[in-house]
Amino acid sequence: MATILLKRGQATDLGNLTLAEGEVAIAYNEDKSTAQLYVGGAGGTKILVTADVAAAVKTALEQAKTYTDTTVTEKIDALVNGAPGTLDTLKEIADAIEENQDVVDAIKSSIANKVDKEDGKGLSEANFTNAEKTKLSGIANNANNYTHPAKHDASIITEDTSHRFVTDAEKTTWNGKLDANSTIDCGTF
């Protein structure tokens, strides 16, 4: 830590004044109505710190006030973000949490029982067993997009007593049989 040395003297002595590095001197005019502050620099130089320290301090204070009045207020307003008047302070929020501990416990329990996300997997309401997942994985893409064909090959039909094929010859024979409206001339008896 540097030691700061103070020198005293009259303004008339300013030209002859030497300051070591880090020394501070205040020079007044003859009637002591104004003053200047000097600091010793490297090689015995005198550095005028400011002609009006009060103005610099006033400017710094005004800038700090502007910052706190606007920027900090904006940040707090953004944090509150339209919260109702009863829950717009950390104290009110803490009190509300304490008064509703059962709700807090229910939320904690829900979080503790959540399904963990696994890379490459999505979450859904359906919980599949490994066997169900394997079965679903074995279904071909678009397997549920069946379109019934306009024509079938006859070989896919299994015949039984109620379902039989009829040949063209059988159709001709049947068509040649008499129907209920047909008449037969049986001759005279």
Say how far apart CA 36 and CA 62 lie, in whole Å.
Answer: 23
Structure tokens at 76: 């707090």
Residue 130 lies in a domain: no
**In degrees, to the nearest 5, what angle opens at C-alpha 56 toward C-alphas 53 and 58?**
110
Structure tokens at 94: 């803490």
Say how far apart CA 137 and CA 147 lie, in whole Å.
Answer: 22
For residue 27, what are the β-bridge partners? 36
Reported as a pLDDT band with limits 50, 70 and 90, residue 51 is low
Residue 139 lies in a domain: no
How long is the chain? 189
Residues spanned by the domain of 32: 6-51
Tell me the mean pLDDT in the region 68-97. Answer: 79
> Do residues 115 and 123 lie in contact, with contact meaning Cβ atoms separated by under 8 Å?
yes
Residue 72 lies in a domain: no
Whether the predicted pLDDT of 137 surpasses 60? yes
Residue 185 lies in a domain: no
Whether the predicted pLDDT of 92 surpasses 80? yes
Residue 175 lies in a domain: no
More reliable by pLDDT, 170 or 13: 170
Reported as a pLDDT band with limits 50, 70 and 90, residue 132 is confident
Structure tokens at 20: 């070591």
Crossing angle for the helix pair 90-99 and 101-112, nearest 10 degrees? Answer: 80
- When divided into structural domains, the chain yields a total of 1
Residue 11 lies in a domain: yes
Say how far apart CA 178 and CA 17 lie, in whole Å.
Answer: 148
Tell me the mean pLDDT in the region 84-97. Answer: 81
Highest-scoring range by mean pLDDT, 3-7, 46-50, 139-143, 148-152: 148-152
DSSP helix, strand, coil percent of the chain (3-state; round to 5) = 45, 10, 45
Reported as a pLDDT band with limits 50, 70 and 90, residue 8 is low
Q: What is the share, in percent, of the chain residues with pLDDT greater than 70?
A: 77
Residue 18 lies in a domain: yes
Residue 22 lies in a domain: yes
Four-point Cα dihedral 127, 131, 134, 136, nearest 10:
-60
Whether the predicted pLDDT of 84 surpasses 50? yes
* Residue found by looking up tokens 């929020």 in the block: 93
Say how far apart CA 73 and CA 68 lie, in whole Å.
Answer: 7
